[in-house]
Amino acid sequence: MAHVLGIDIGGTGIKGAPVDLETGQLLAERVKVETPHPSVPEAVAAAVAKLTAGFEWTSPAGVTFPGVIEDGVVKTAANVDKHWIGTDARELFSKATGVPVAVINDADAAGLAEMKYGIGAGEKGTVLMLTLGTGIGSALFIDGILVPNTEFGHIEIRGKDAERRASEIVREEEDLSWGKWAGRVDEYLEHMEHLLSPRVIIIGGGVSRRSDKFLPLLTGLRARVVPASLHNDAGIVGAAMAAPAG
């Protein structure tokens, strides 16, 4: 099954495209819709079904979700409606789309894509991927093996969840300069380095396209900090990688 539909659910947008799993390339221009507000399960499932139908997709698909996922069931929901907690997302999306679906944490999906097709390919030891967007997602790899559902965006720094200080949306909402924001990101990365001692830190999310604005401003880190090469498509590609065989 070389061609698979990947759908990436975020706090502000839902995007999808078919993916060639041999190359990690999108096979069509990605389609994006706004995440419904309120982002209750039924409304999000309807949006996912509409995206799936738009591609006339009838084969298995993969879907990411911004929270902890265990056997298809949502355990946490930081940036979407709390009604998701306890929802069997795999069953919900499968019924809504009419195709077999697998569900995976969004940052884990992005990390898997980068480790296979992107900047992390071939990296050994401890690799940490962080997606800076509506929140901060995390994916941790040990010798290429994923440690799922880490959710390091909720590490507390200065009395707040790290994502409430250093996510991209906070930079936009507080109109922070790149320098000011880079200082917050730097503090967060130093904290993660003390905890995990990664060899490489991969920065993903849409802001990775503008890595030249802030990565040169980071200081004092032992780890090599690099921008994700798949940028904001990594979640779509990783979602497709997680899809059930069929």
Q: What is the pLDDT of residues 8-45, one digit of tens each?
A: 999 889 999 999 999 999 999 999 999 999 999 999 99
Does the residue 220 lie in any domain? yes
**Residue among 129, 99, 74 nearest 16 (CA):** 99
Same domain, 166 and 215: yes
Same domain, 73 and 32: yes
Dig out the tokens for 244 from the structure. 């059930």
Same domain, 130 and 223: yes
Does the residue 143 lie in any domain? yes
pTM here is 0.95
| Residue 201 CB neighbour total at 10 angstroms | 20
Same domain, 150 and 84: no
pLDDT, average across residues 139-149: 98
Same domain, 30 and 86: yes
Same domain, 43 and 133: no
Does the residue 113 lie in any domain? no
Same domain, 59 and 157: no
Does the residue 19 lie in any domain? yes
Assess whether pLDDT exceeds 90 at residue 194.
Answer: yes
Does the residue 117 lie in any domain? no
Assess whether pLDDT exceeds 70 at residue 1.
Answer: no
pLDDT, average across residues 146-162: 96
Distance of CA 42 to the CA centre of its chain: 21
Same domain, 81 and 174: no
- Note the pLDDT tens digit of each residue in 89-142: 999 999 999 999 999 999 999 999 999 999 999 999 999 999 999 899 999 999
Same domain, 238 and 223: no
* CATH, residue 83: 3.30.420.40
Same domain, 88 and 126: no
What is the number of domains present in the chain?
Answer: 2
Q: CA angle, corner 71, sides to 115 and 161, nearest 5?
A: 65
Same domain, 101 and 183: no
Q: Which residues 6+ apart lie within 8 Å of 182 measured at CB? A: 214, 217, 218
Assess whether pLDDT exceeds 90 at residue 78.
Answer: no
- Which amino acid, one-letter code, is at 2? A
Element (H, E) at 242: helix 234-242
pLDDT, average across residues 80-86: 97
Does the residue 17 lie in any domain? yes
Q: Which residues 6+ apart lie within 8 Å of 243 measured at CB? A: 1, 4, 5, 6, 60, 61, 62, 100, 101, 102
Question: Which domain does 17 fall in, by range?
Answer: 3-108+234-242
Does the residue 200 lie in any domain? yes
Same domain, 28 and 87: yes
